[in-house]
Structure 1
């Protein structure tokens, strides 16, 4: 393991000491990454015990090396370090297992070996069976593999969707207004966010052209707070959406049933957008986000095998 600037890890008796040392040497630009690093270091030093099964992966050969931990780790002197890896655990290697002979469930569980994590009982049993020379009774049928991939894909999509919602919730009310404008710009509209202060009108206005002469002219109200939005507030917004205009009311806390009824009966079109809708709109239009929008909500693209 790396992080050689930390020196011998045994000198840090508490997580707070380790965290502070990590921040001093590597910074704290992303606190979540700091917490993840500290967690992995602690697992490497303290959680792994003698006689634990250790598995690491060789991407080049698509093989897992399976071994038994020998019960101690060590900080290597500079002359003995291998590349940037200064922290080592001693392992007695038992053998190699090709990824291709493992069950689909095990392969899915071992999809990432970039972090230190605990293996499930079924994964360990699968590895031991292969090392003992046992062959699976029957290889999974293509339909079964495809079904497993589909289920895993759906799980990852659902988790990603919730994580995106978490990040949207972390925006401030002012940032949320600019984020709503960024989504509309990604959809091809010109936007104007009203300056803060009294008499500002609606939060965002959008239209197909800069001056706002072409239709549809869209008025947007943004409420970034906990709790469902009620009918009274929605009626107030509906009253400013004139003939020939469309309205969008964004409430990250959702809407009451009465509020949705008010939107349905409005004379001019009014769309209600909750946090779930925002996440969907973000994913659908993110490739067209401008720099400001991407700065408010940084996302990365992940490639996945086609179904």
Structure 2
């Protein structure tokens, strides 16, 4: 493919809808019906400014620029990629159709769409080099990948040998200032992904200790099962530390590649008492059937994928103990309010 575009919406939440509907799409409901070939950035910016008079200038310019690119610069035959933060996978496809207005999809954040032929093979984020990961960390909804990132992703998707970029100095320059509405949002997004990279690399036993540490920071006392048969519970968390006081939270931790399915969820639920509360942690994510199984469970059950785990860790990091901080050492950064 000559070019490869990142297209994602709602923070990656549209990943499955893109695949199921065979499209890549963006939102911007105020601009959706005006996103046609030939429309100018200035026209889109004026429409957006009229619809959102309180919007900051950077937001107006960024929004108009991304919609304009999707309508005018993306072409049939171009490659497209989208990201799932929950599963840490990239879906790759080829654009097969012109831009179209879909009023019936506006509520899904997909009012502006192009048909895409998605490949069956996904690329895992953990397979990629650090420079490529950093390139993909932008919060922009639509942007063109530089050649080094495109080459590595296409090589990973095809199983070919990868010539990795080894240093940040080899990367191209920054994106144009006019397209960055909120530089801090990019920093936040990149930080979360880098923390997920760090957490993903720790071992299974340390992952259990990390989850226990987060629960302690949330106010619970924990018991971590010894190495060996855990009988479906890696951690018991409760107010008293013995599991006598409610809520008694039974935790299963699976730190491995691949999503957990409905069978694993049913097996976990099968050993629970009626007064238990369940927490199932899978850093590889969950299938649709697993999510459905959790929703209909008789015992209250919460699912944490890697994204949820890391965001919960960040939220409670200051309250974590020294052992938890040793597992995932982070530094606070201040930014002007």
Please, what TM-score do these two structures have when normalized by structure 1? 0.52
Q: What residue is the counterpart of 2:301 in the other structure?
A: 270
Return the match for 2:211 from 180, 183, 187: 180
Shift of 1:214: 1.2
Mapped partners of 2:217, 2:201: distance in 1: 21
Return the match for 1:255 from 257, 282, 286: 286
Q: What residue is the counterpart of 1:296 in the other structure?
A: 327
Shift of 1:262: 0.8
Mapped partners of 1:214, 1:155: distance in 2: 43
| C-alpha RMSD of matched pairs (Å) | 2.7
Mapped partners of 2:289, 2:269: distance in 1: 14
Matches within 5 A, 1:40-189: 120=173, 151-189=182-220
Mapped partners of 1:173, 1:167: distance in 2: 13
- Give the direction of change, closer, same or farther, for the CA distance of 1:183–1:117 in structure 2 (3 Å limit): same
8 Å CA contact 1:243–1:268 kept in 2: the answer is yes
Q: What residue is the counterpart of 1:211 in the other structure?
A: 242
- Give the direction of change, closer, same or farther, for the CA distance of 1:166–1:118 in structure 2 (3 Å limit): closer
Q: What residue is the counterpart of 1:221 in the other structure?
A: 252
- Which structure is larger by alpha-carbon Rg, 1 or 2? 1
User: What is the DSSP-based 3-state SS (H/G/I as helix, E as strand, rest coil) of the residue aligned with 2:182?
Assistant: helix
- Give the direction of change, closer, same or farther, for the CA distance of 1:275–1:116 in structure 2 (3 Å limit): closer
Mapped partners of 2:175, 2:218: distance in 1: 47
Is 2:246 the partner of 1:234?
no
Is 2:307 the partner of 1:280?
no
Mapped partners of 2:307, 2:249: distance in 1: 21
8 Å CA contact 1:246–1:270 kept in 2: the answer is yes
Unpaired segments of 5 or more residues in structure 1? Answer: 1-114, 124-143
Q: What residue is the counterpart of 1:194 in the other structure?
A: 225
Unpaired segments of 5 or more residues in structure 2? Answer: 1-167
Shift of 1:212: 2.2
Please, what TM-score do these two structures have when normalized by structure 2? 0.47
Question: Matched residue pairs, number?
Answer: 171
